[in-house]
């Protein structure tokens, strides 16, 4: 018997499309986390140069706010992909951590002016 006629050796039904869906979802989420992490990094590294630099403060807040919005979007995408069983529940960790990091930069760790 070859692999085509032996159902035990073929693997789960729909394995090909499911694998492609998993890879595409994982790449999409990884790209979203990478962009969100970069914005969080910018939010912490960009700051006012002194008491006169209102623009530096605005840029840090803007980067943190956009990072928080992207963390929410990737969390929602993760929820959809987990519900469809394309990725595992571990994909919820990265958007949660990035959302907390961005929220802290907007509130408790906001750059002083």
Higher pLDDT, 76 or 10: 76
The helix-helix angle for 15-45 and 93-106 (nearest 10°) equals 20
Kindly report, residue by residue over 37-75, the tens digit of the pLDDT. Answer: 999 999 999 888 888 889 999 999 999 999 999 999 999
Are 91 and 82 within 8 A, CB to CB?
A: yes
> What value does the mean pLDDT take over residues 80-87?
94
Confidence check: pLDDT of 97 > 90: yes
Are 69 and 28 within 8 A, CB to CB?
A: no
Q: What is the pTM of this model?
A: 0.82
Backbone φ, ψ for residue 26 (5° rounding): -65, -40
């Amino acid at each position: 018997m070859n692999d085509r006629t032996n159902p035990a050796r073929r693997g789960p039904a729909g394995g090909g499309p499911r694998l492609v869906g998993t890879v595409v979802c994982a790449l999409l989420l990884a790209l979203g986390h990478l962009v969100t992490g970069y914005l969080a990094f910018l939010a912490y590294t960009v700051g006012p140069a002194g008491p006169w630099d209102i623009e530096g403060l605005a840029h840090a807040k803007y980067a943190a706010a956009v990072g928080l919005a992207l963390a929410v979007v990737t969390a929602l995408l993760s929820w959809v992909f987990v519900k469809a069983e394309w990725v595992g529940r571990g994909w919820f960790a990265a958007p949660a951590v990035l959302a907390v990091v961005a929220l802290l930069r907007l509130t408790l760790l906001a750059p002083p002016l």
